[in-house]
Amino acid sequence: MSIEDKQLFTVSVYTENNIGLLNRISAIFQRRHINIESLNTSPSEIEGVSKFTIVVNITEVNMKKIIGQIEKQVEVIKAYYHKLDEIIYQIAGLFKIKSELLFEERQIQNIIKESNARIVTVNKEFFVLEKSGKKEEIVTLYNQLSPFGIMQYTRSGLIAVTKEEMKISSLLEAIKNN
């Protein structure tokens, strides 16, 4: 893969926890007409520091430029980018299905078992399945369940941890001691 070829990257952005920062970061992608494939915001391992996990399909050349422009934002502590093979990642999918199907269609039970999906809740009208994994695994499950009728389906943004160490804590420590 050349640095001029488009590929999927996950961008991890460690930030102060401020309103408006999401706008600032997403605007950097918007200006260059880059579609955000998925986006997740959450607390990070460091107290008071938030983490954005953004997935984009772009060239590495552009990725580097964008990382620079993200890090330039005053309230961004550090931004990293990784290729998919450099991270451990998960996506969650939720499926809402009519409860009667669970009992009428034996095959559904097999699908649930084989896919390692989890039943989150069951009531008279519907049950909810949860499946975490790679995007393809969730799409496969969707394709298997789709013929029976899915009432609602939703997929989360990608979340990831890196294989390498992220030195945010020591970075913040260094700033504090400056």
**How far is the C-alpha of 42 from the C-alpha of 52, rounded, in Å?**
7
Inter-residue contact 10 to 79 (CB < 8 Å): no
Q: Which of 159, 138, 168 is nearest to 150 (CA)?
A: 138
Q: How far is the CB of 21 from another protein (least distance, A)?
A: 8
Q: How far is the CB of 54 from another protein (least distance, A)?
A: 15
Where do we find the tokens 């107290």? 47
User: Which of 11, 54, 63, 76: binder of another protein (CB under 8 A)?
Assistant: 76
83 alpha-carbon distance from chain centroid: 13
Q: Restricting to residues 26-45, name those near another protein by CB under 8 A.
A: 27, 31, 41
Q: How far is the CB of 22 from another protein (least distance, A)?
A: 8
User: Which of 2, 35, 48, 154: binder of another protein (CB under 8 A)?
Assistant: 48
Phi, psi of 45 (to 5 degrees): -70, -15
| Cα angle value 175/67/92 (rounded, 5°) | 100
Measured from the CB atom, the residue of 43 and 149 that comes closer to another protein is 43
User: Which of 84, 128, 166, 172: binder of another protein (CB under 8 A)?
Assistant: 172
Burial of 111 (0-12, 13-18, 19+ CB in 10 A): middle
Q: Which of 56, 47, 48 is nearest to 12 (CA)?
A: 56
Greatest Cα pair distance, the chain, in angstroms, is 67
Contact mark string toward another protein, 53..72, x via CB under 8 A: -----------xx--xx-xx
Q: How far is the CB of 32 from another protein (least distance, A)?
A: 12
Q: How far is the CB of 9 from another protein (least distance, A)?
A: 17
Q: Which residues bind another protein (CB under 8 A)?
A: 15-20, 22-24, 27, 31, 41, 48, 50, 64-65, 68-69, 71-72, 74-77, 172, 175-176, 178
